[in-house]
Chain A
Amino acid sequence: MARVLINLPARAKRGELIEIKTLIAHPMETGYRLGPTGGAIPRDIINRFTCTYNGEEVFRAELFPAIAANPFITFFTVATESGEIVFSWTDDHGNTQTEVRQITVE
């Protein structure tokens, strides 16, 4: 499991625009670099990030080589109701890491 830092308000007013910041540890190896013996270092990047809010997708990003290591993604969404915000990062090996955070909307 990679280290993840997620920052979002624990509480928000209904209709409020909230900023969500995410940071995940990942080498984001481009596939274009050569290793010590001259062979290409295989590509290994996170290629997809999604965020759902009570099951509904509110943000998605496709990532490509040339995005720096430890990708930092921030975005905004509208606080509609209390519930679960789920974050998923999928890498080139098809592994998905998922993190869940709660938000209270009043």
Chain B
Amino acid sequence: MRALVLAAVAAAVAAAAAEIAPQDRHSGYDFAGPDTRAMQDDDTANPGMLGVLQGETLWAAKTGAAGRSCADCHGDARTSMKGVAARYPAFEPALARPLDLEGRINRCRSEHQGAEPLAWESADLLALTAFVAYQSRGLPIMVRADAELRPFVDLGSALFHRRQGQLNLSCSQCHDDNWGKRLAGAVIPQAHPTGYPVYRLEWQSLGSLQRRLRNCMIGVRAEPYDYSAPEAVDLELYLMARARGMPLETPAVRP
């Protein structure tokens, strides 16, 4: 009997594990409740906009040994940063690796401003990232899966489909196979990174995509990757490639 049940489970798992067809893709917005959606839709009620405003101030602030602001080099973010977040993580030749938006901003701080990189999840790094990503709001995700990036997309995909943690679950088992169903009080979304940094009500603050991934890893009792670890960036890249064509919503609001 037990063997039969196991065989049935194995068959079910094998039958699923398919990728979500493009026309069936949904942003986390579609799974959120009406109050959360209303909060995201109204810029004066969306607490993520406070971060965008802070980022706008930081954009113009001179800092570091070079005494230069982001604006000194990049000018008006509304034009220079339009569409940038939609194609991150992007390949950085000097590192021979992809860099995510936070990594890129911190690289500008260290390479171009002569300043210390900002700490991950610090209010300032979240604010700058939100401000830059906000310039792409409504634009389709356009991450390139060209020859340079392809190997890293594949690495991220492998991580997404690999079982892990004490619960021995892969990301894909929840987000490809069981989206729309409930996990305790939460609806399982499809894990599209369309709104990052997001204002998450549970956090009562803005948070990065990497923070969100850490939450899911801790949820299956796996050891989360360190912030900016190569695995974390590969996973971000895979998720962005998987969400290709979906519009960015930054700053989104999530439960």
Contacts and interface: CB of A to CB of B under 8 A. Distances in A.
Interface of A: 3, 5-7, 21, 23-25, 27-28, 68-70, 72, 74
B44 A7 contact: yes
B69 interface: no
Given A5-B44, A7-B44, A21-B44, A69 B49 contact: no
B204 A69 contact: yes
Contacts of A3: 50, 53-54
Interface of B: 42-45, 47, 49-50, 53-54, 201, 204-205
A5 B45 CA distance: 8
Contacts of B50: 3, 5, 23-25, 70
B108 to A, nearest CB: 23
B54 A21 contact: no
B6 to A, nearest CB: 44
A68 B53 contact: no
A23 B45 contact: yes
B44 A70 contact: no
A70 B43 CA distance: 14
A7 to B, nearest CB: 4
Given A5-B49, A23-B50, A69 B205 contact: yes
Nearest to A24: B50
Contacts of A68: 201, 204
A28 B54 CA distance: 18
A14 B71 CA distance: 43
